[in-house]
Structure 1
């Protein structure tokens, strides 16, 4: 059951890699803001669940390096024979990692253009599984492993062909180098310690580079899972001539085919206090048996640790599948002593694999070492944890690192796009604030203008109201007074008296109507035809005076709006009243000329003339008409009042 769960977890993780890769390829500028924010939340949540990059230190094998070249166009290749035909699910390429001058880590001489080819013994040509261009496909920069899905194709060998090489940092020459190649069939790395062929191979003087190191299982990372509690390694002091034994009871027999020995943490100080092979025996034999006394023991591995390049954070070894219940690790040649102290022996974790599943998890471990020299408990050897957290299946661990790389590469792009969106939102908000402020200012300004216009309108209404009261009612009262005088003189002439009384009665009714409408003379049309009203008014006010009235353009006058006719008539009436009251004239000449562009009214008398300027009542009425009033001496020596104004089409004329 656990094996099935592990298989499906690997499939799900591989699917997540494809999903996140598809997300990363989606242009973030096309996503709505809500999806971008959700995407950032998803990335952060997923990153908190993934293994971290913890790079290994100390001395050890690095990986494979080809011969150097002066130009990039030198094909190089690595071929790995699995020794059996398997369904291939995934291939991992682990880059060689180098620290640059800025103390940043980066892949060194990862191939620029390469392909993965897989085949069987019967098909030595193979078929291309995938092709990549690191520049176009966005593979670099990276320190994470690069996962190539193989979708379960049948293969017994793979070949990585580099068509275009990259520069190595040390001398800028072109090489092909990798730290490790892992090929997974389910959870099993079928490339582990298998036969390797290469187009060229450069073994460095230090011994850190060689083609065999590309499948030795050593990667430049320490397993640092995001979940699980910490656990310390099992360690014990052993004598120089002592050969300790660790025994694991698997509970029942299992067909086992591999073992992982996790080296102890070397130190929590920088630099580390111990060499990279602390606690690892120089020679160790691993046996399997179904009897607890190992009477039927079978040697599974005979491990010789000759140099530091034979050890690493996780020592992985495959062996032919063997059915057994008990596993025994016997130290043939103990580790070297550390200074004057006895040698240390131990591991952080021991994993024993049966078809991809660790069957040693939480199983009982016994040790031949006396209790007094045990520094830590043997139960920590199979608790499934290291000093960082849970011990993960190798494929899951490397996939988590690959997914972390994708998410950490995508996250700055999402943040950058979000910042752009927020900046645009802020700019739009600022524009809206300024627009609102401008609109508020415009509204305020409009209210102020409206207030001023209303005040001006109130002032004009008051002015017109005063003018109407003065000019209409005052003139009518003066006319009534004159008619009263005529009535007294005609007391002995009944016919004349009755006519005069009728005029007084009509003028009284007219005054009442004018009083009712003087508050809004704009809409009042209390007059008949303007020329007839002007003649009738002259006859009433100039009753005992000689007068002459002439009017030109009567048709134009009839087209004037009622308010304009009223203002013109009241100006005319006020002028006659002033002559009647103050001029002591005996003769009056009235001449009105009306045209579509200009109206002139001239009223002259033979009186004693004006004392001072034009009366204010006439100025006020001329102002309401939008015209100009002047006074001069008439030909007969009296006063000549002249009104001129231009009627505005659409404003002063009625629509016929």
Structure 2
């Protein structure tokens, strides 16, 4: 009997613990955090991978051993106090048509070097492996008080390419952005390294800082498609009056993007000028004009902007001359076409809303749309903020996936708890009935013994 009482007490304690776990709802805080993540994701711009990039970035030599020191120096055009360094991995597509990062270094260090040789370490993965990154920008904060002349990325251990049977080790880097405020100080910087495998229009050290990446900072709005400049002329001149004397140090030209209408890459960048010249002047007749940028026959962009650091020159009037528009493979028409023109001074946009004067006679164009902040497929967002949002989105999506797995585990545990609760309830009911029948049996046995005792006493008295 005492054993049954003890067992009943134990079952009650266990049942209390199980029911407390069941009704405490451990999934509630997880679901709350997932809802908060969903709300924040809804406020972030969607990350859109471009269908093709004119250049891929930097590719090192092939090595037989993974433990190789490969320094890559990015010598900035001007000394800059950086606050954020972003390194974009190269994107590759596997046999299942899934995009993933490709050959990002396994161990490395990143240092900032001042003009006087002082060094500041901003990332040290010399003793531990760097987690396999996604395609989002890898963010490395910088000390804003340190004036850097050079960014040194030193590989210490390479990853093996799982798609290659040979024992070759190498690394790739897609693009480096070095921000001081909104200014990308690394754009078109000099890249020095002794380990490189150049491939025309694909891999080269200079492609590490040419501005081309897998992410175009455009908030898609395909319900508002626009073609801002499309002329049949062989040459187009756009003149802007900035209203005051300023220093222009960066030029961005956005191509006409047909990726929302056509999947083949030949449709992107139709009419984009392969020859460009930018002049700055203080006089409206350009009698004192200075050429701040000139280039011939560079790769046409597909979706993202052509970004070029130009020689800083003070001027009020800017004249862009565009020639040799890219011809669509399936279209015999020639001409000049692009969607947006942007001029910057240390990351500050100067040209927004300034309607240019266009020298073109044939074709269709809306000159006010050339500086309205829209590409053909949507609103152009500030580059740094966009990249930070892309990185934040990737982190939130990873956290959401981890929470989803945790929630599945909690639900599985709750299901197991329910099963145990049912088993314990059945056990308690069984113990109760067992206790009831045993008690009843003992009572009946005691009554039967009492009757026998009374009958025996009466028999003795009568006898």
TM range (shorter): 0.7 to 0.9
For 1:373, the equivalent position in structure 2 comes to 363
Matched, 1:357 2:184: no
Alignment partner of 2:60 out of 55, 66, 69 = 66
Classify the secondary structure of the residue corresponding to 2:113: strand
| Match status 1:187 vs 2:182 | yes
Q: Which residue among 56, 81, 90 is the counterpart of 1:87?
A: 81
CA contact (8 A) 1:245 1:368 kept: yes
For 1:52 and 1:126, the matched residues in 2 are separated by 37
Q: SS of 1:300's equivalent?
A: strand
Report if the CA contact (8 A) 1:52-1:224 is conserved: no
* Aligned residue number for residue 40 of structure 2: 46
Per chain length, whose mean CA-contact separation is higher, i.e. which structure has more relative contact order (CA < 8 Å, sep 6+)? Answer: 2
The two structures have a TM-score, normalised by structure 1, of 0.59
Conserved 8 A contact 1:58-1:275: no
Tell whether the 8 Å contact from 2:103 to 2:170 is kept in structure 1 after alignment: yes
Q: Residue 627 of structure 1: CA displacement? A: 5.1
Q: What secondary structure, in the 3-state scheme, does the structure 2 residue paired with 1:626 have?
A: helix
Residues 216, 253 of structure 1: alpha-carbon distance in 2 compared, 3 angstrom cutoff: same
Contact 1:259 1:351 in 2 (8 A): yes
Task: Quote the residue 2:209 is aligned against.
Answer: 215
**Structure 1 residue 167 corresponds to structure 2 residue 160:** yes
Which string of whole-angstrom CA distances, capped at 9 and with x for unpartnered residues, describes residues 105-153 of structure 1?
A: 1111110100001111211x62322112697453x14111211111212
**Which is higher, the Rg of structure 1 or of structure 2?**
1
Deviation at 1:80, TM superposition (A): 0.9
2:372 alignment counterpart: 383
- 1:105 corresponds in structure 2 to 99
In structure 1, the residue matched to 2:451 is: 624
Instruction: For 2:406 and 2:202, locate their aligned partners in 1 and report how far apart those are by CA, in whole Å.
Output: 44
Deviation at 1:626, TM superposition (A): 3.1
| Partners of 2:354 and 2:225 in 1: CA distance | 16
Contact 1:91–1:183 (CA under 8 A) maintained in structure 2? yes
Asked if residue 343 in structure 1 is aligned to residue 325 in structure 2, the reply is no
Distance in 1, Cα, partners of 2:358 & 2:307 = 22
> Which SS does the other structure have where 2:134 is aligned?
coil
CA distance in 2, matches of 1:311, 1:432: 61
CA distance in 1, matches of 2:380, 2:331: 34
**CA–CA separation in structure 2 for the residues paired with 1:407 and 1:337:** 40
Give the aligned partner of residue 236 of structure 1.
230
TM-score of the aligned structures, taking structure 2 as reference length? 0.82
Q: Which moved more, 1:358-367 or 1:86-95?
A: 358-367
Change (3 A) 1:141 1:134: farther
CA distance in 2, matches of 1:305, 1:50: 37
Larger mean Cα displacement after TM superposition, 89-98 or 401-410: 401-410
SS in 2 for 1:41: helix
CA shift for structure 1 position 164 = 0.5
Asked if the contact 1:218–1:312 (Cα under 8 Å) also holds between the matched residues in 2, the reply is no
Q: How many residues align?
A: 433
Instruction: Mark the CA change 1:189 to 1:246 in structure 2 (over 3 Å): closer, same or farther.
Output: same
Question: Which structure carries more helix by proportion?
Answer: 1
Q: Distance in 1 between matches of 2:329 and 2:284?
A: 34
Root mean square deviation, CA, Å: 3.5
1:446 deviates by 7.8
- Following the alignment from structure 2 to structure 1, what is the Cα–Cα distance between the partners of residues 151 and 173? 15
- C-alpha contact 2:266 2:328 (8 A) present in aligned 1: no
Residue 22 of structure 1: aligned partner? none
The equivalent residue for 1:534 is none
Q: Which contiguous aligned blocks of 4+ residues in structure 1 show a shift greater than 6 angstroms?
A: 226-229, 440-450
**How far apart are the structure 2 equivalents of 1:273 and 1:192?**
25
Name the residue aligned to 1:597.
Answer: none
Change (3 A) 1:433 1:224: farther
CA–CA distance in 1 between the matches of 2:328 and 2:454?
123
8 Å contact kept, 1:230–1:385:
no
Residue in structure 2 matched with residue 198 of structure 1 by the alignment: 193
Partner of residue 392 from structure 1, selected from 364, 376, 381: 381
- Deviation of 1:161 after TM superposition, in Å, equals 0.1
Secondary structure in structure 2 of the residue aligned to 1:225: strand
CA distance in 2, matches of 1:72, 1:251: 56
Change in CA separation of 1:311 and 1:340 when aligned onto 2, cut-off 3 Å: closer
- Cα deviation, 1:464-488, whole Å, max 9, x if unaligned, reads xxxxxxxxxxxxxxxxxxxxxxxxx
Structure showing the higher strand proportion among its residues: 2
Deviates more, 1:353-362 or 1:272-281: 272-281
